[in-house]
Structure 1
């Protein structure tokens, strides 16, 4: 390519254009170094120091996680995270064909899993269960969920203090609510509960977890098969009917149901973190007690603030060259986003490391963004509100039964939270 230039003539006659080579294109800057990102066993609600450094180093960096192969790009700015998670040029499905660097030691994606579906498959798979997670469905569920919670809290009160909130309330409540939404028969809930606890447990090893998965997924397949003609509105019945109509395969239905059945884990540990913050920050607890009508925005701020997980979630693969914040991500390269980092972006959240109960607006990404926005977000929010309201209202003197430093936290885990939360009242 050439550029044409002219030079002024003393005679006033415009000379012929003179050709000269165009300047060479700017060289692509060297990519950032690849940083190893171990899954640290962090205490309390401490923000991951490695992620803090990565955010400081640049909006788009490169990381290597403990398992898988190679390295991946990492986007941490709010706007970049929203771009990557809402852009069809970044594929989840393509990851299932690769050994991308990752946190999880084992990688066994199941057919039908929403987590790995791209459009239009994602909408096709999500459609059969969407009706079970609407705002209207949650309003209908609320009285039954409150009754389940009241029974758990009532039993704890009858036994008297001290008590472990995780064991007595925070773990069994979400599991019971999910059983209601999924349509697990009462007589079979204890068995499903046992499988679920083993799958999410950090003890027992991979073999025990695999056995529990085989048992639970086998039970789900049999239940869906038996409900092909059902008109009920629980998830397993909706999936059975969708299989019966030929909208999804049985294998896809099982892959959809499994993660939803296990989904109470996030509520357990997110609420554990929120309550720990309230129990260790008197001013925050006072605010929640003095203004119960305004708890909603405070819960949003706590959802923004808490470090929900270790490192990052699921990767995407660039299907073509894409520029993100001035960085060219080449086709075939893996990309992670950090919702935790996006929720601490100072350009969107002033003083992001401060819990501000009056933060407004608060467009946090705690439930994700784009097509993979959390299917159960409305259900998770309902359970969170019920848990916080019920515990604060029925236990006016609620406080930790041990010094904060003696609260045990989950280790070697993808979802962070207190392992136990000893309280008294």
Structure 2
């Protein structure tokens, strides 16, 4: 490419189960090179697994999306928002994240597994009672993680339509900055009110613990707590719902892999890791900005330059995963980057794993003849969403 050429745009499109085709070329032809955002900004795009880990684990790359030059989701920088862990750096990021860690440890999530099994079973009972045909998103893949995160946080599931509507607005890039901010503001105000109510009448849930143990003791402000809760509520159901939906499609499109999964319960944990790698639903990149000069993959990224880390490309890196475009539930995919890496790696990854490990086998055990009622290409893929997925999944059995 000549110096006067405009770098290519960051792909927002993608096929249902695969990354955009550009990544397959770029990872070998231009693994760390400029792209174009919003017509006049040209951050670096990181496509290789090794380089992605390097950037995400390096404190010289900041996650603060209000820094000048940050390669944000919108041309205009967002206003500073309390409690948004994904857009914070140490020491504030460390201070707030530490408050949440006890609720998301492996041991704590293991204690939640019976509740996940109960919720999964109840949803499957309702699905069977309704009978085919059915929209699996409406009746299973969306309500399951939303019910689980609502129970964990202490949020009334009765408010699910309000929650999902505003969470979707907050996560839809193509809706524009005002709509995204309105979605955030609606959830923020809603959770501030709930947090205040929990401080008066606490229960046995994460929100109550934040109100009593952190806000009341001045370790965190009410605004910081509400901001963290918004992030947990949105991320805690959007990504897992998408993974469940696309996981069903991927398994139905690969019947040999589904049969192997059905035949061997011991395959389930590794199969979930492979599905996470293969699908990588966070598909518009993790964004960073260099605060010091740093060399990544033999390229010097200068202070003030933005970086977009393409997780879906890193998880299809042929240098790390043999035959990366093939779904192979027997492969060792545990070193994938679907949950990110470094200090901002997904706090709820153990919970997401538990939900996937429980829900997918239970679904196929209960509905062994489950099938799509049309080709997957006819499903309605989300457009302009930070999380890739499907809005409808018509099935029968």
Task: Give the TM-score normalised by the residue count of structure 2.
Answer: 0.90
Paired with 1:268 and 1:204, the residues of 2 have a C-alpha distance of: 20
Q: Which runs of 5+ in 1 are unaligned?
A: 1-29
Paired with 1:312 and 1:203, the residues of 2 have a C-alpha distance of: 13
SS of 2:251 mapped into structure 1: helix
Q: Is the 8 A contact 1:235 1:257 kept in 2?
A: no
Task: Choose which of 306, 317, 322 in structure 1 pairs with 2:279.
Answer: 306
Task: Choose which of 310, 320, 341 in structure 1 pairs with 2:313.
Answer: 341
Q: Is the 8 A contact 2:74 2:173 kept in 1?
A: no
Q: In the superposition, relative to structure 1, how do residues 120 and 103 fare at CA in structure 2: closer, same or farther (>3 Å)?
A: closer
Q: In the superposition, relative to structure 1, how do residues 195 and 219 fare at CA in structure 2: closer, same or farther (>3 Å)?
A: same
2:252 maps to 1:279:
yes
Deviation at 1:211, TM superposition (A): 4.9
Show the counterpart of 1:86.
57
- Larger displacement relative to structure 2 (287-296 or 258-267): 287-296
Show the counterpart of 1:374.
346
Task: Choose which of 215, 237, 240 in structure 2 pairs with 1:267.
Answer: 240
Q: Is the 8 A contact 1:76 1:342 kept in 2?
A: yes
2:146 maps to 1:170:
no
2:284 maps to 1:316:
no
Show the counterpart of 1:11.
none
Q: Is the 8 A contact 1:175 1:193 kept in 2?
A: no
Equivalenced residues, count: 390
Paired with 1:147 and 1:87, the residues of 2 have a C-alpha distance of: 41
Paired with 1:181 and 1:410, the residues of 2 have a C-alpha distance of: 27
Task: Choose which of 175, 180, 186 in structure 1 pairs with 2:151.
Answer: 180
Show the counterpart of 1:154.
125
- Larger displacement relative to structure 2 (53-62 or 224-233): 224-233
Show the counterpart of 1:22.
none
Q: Is the 8 A contact 2:69 2:289 kept in 1?
A: no
Q: Is the 8 A contact 2:136 2:394 kept in 1?
A: yes
Paired with 1:240 and 1:34, the residues of 2 have a C-alpha distance of: 50
- Please provide the CA RMSD for this pair: 2.5
Paired with 1:34 and 1:92, the residues of 2 have a C-alpha distance of: 26
Show the counterpart of 1:122.
93
Show the counterpart of 1:21.
none
Show the counterpart of 2:48.
77
Deviation at 1:308, TM superposition (A): 1.4
Paired with 2:58 and 2:13, the residues of 1 have a C-alpha distance of: 33
Deviations 1:146-174 (A, max 9, x none): 22221111111011111111111001111
Deviation at 1:126, TM superposition (A): 0.7
Task: Choose which of 140, 145, 158 in structure 2 pairs with 1:190.
Answer: 158
Q: Which runs of 5+ in 2 are unaligned?
A: none
Deviation at 1:107, TM superposition (A): 4.6
Q: Is the 8 A contact 2:13 2:20 kept in 1?
A: no
SS of 1:279 mapped into structure 2: helix
SS of 2:395 mapped into structure 1: strand
User: Structure 2 matches for 1:126-145, cutoff 5 A?
Assistant: 126-145=97-116
Show the counterpart of 1:289.
262
Q: Which has the higher contact order (CA 8 A, sep 6+)?
A: 2
Task: Choose which of 59, 64, 68 in structure 1 pairs with 2:36.
Answer: 64
Show the counterpart of 1:257.
229
Paired with 1:359 and 1:52, the residues of 2 have a C-alpha distance of: 20
Q: In the superposition, relative to structure 1, how do residues 191 and 205 fare at CA in structure 2: closer, same or farther (>3 Å)?
A: farther
Task: Choose which of 332, 335, 358 in structure 2 pairs with 1:360.
Answer: 332
